[in-house]
Amino acid sequence: MLTLARRRAASGGGTANERKMTVTLKASTGATILVRREEDMFAALPAGATGEAQVCLGIDLFEVVAELAGLDLDEEEQAEEATRLANDARQRLSSSPMQQRSR
């Protein structure tokens, strides 16, 4: 399940009107993961986490999603879920109005 939410840019990250797009992923394990795009990289962290986000290239996002969601990549069904969630997040963030304007 994917939802798209707008979040204010972090302090010092632009004007008050600037927004960052965040995709919320819900895994079958019950984990909720927030993913945002930062230029050519993606940042992901569990919802409600206070630590640093894991930053990765888009090609590696499925591994980060699997780790944060507790999905086992050695299990075919769980690996497919991690890949599907990462692909959906990449697609949604790539087609967001904010990304299209920055191109």
Q: Does any domain span residue 67?
A: yes
Is 103 within a domain? no
Q: 19: helix, coil or strand?
A: strand
Summarised one tens digit per residue, pLDDT across range 30-44 is: 999 999 998 889 999
d(CA 100, CA 97): 5
| Tally of domains within the chain | 1
55: left (phi over 0), alpha (psi -120 to 50) or beta: beta
**Is 21 inside a domain boundary?**
yes
Range of the domain at 91: 2-98
Mean pLDDT of the residues in the chain: 81
> Which amino acid, one-letter code, is at 32?
T
φ and ψ at residue 72, rounded to 5 degrees: -95, 110
19 belongs to a structural domain: yes
Q: Is residue 45 domain-resident?
A: yes
pTM recorded for the entire structure: 0.75
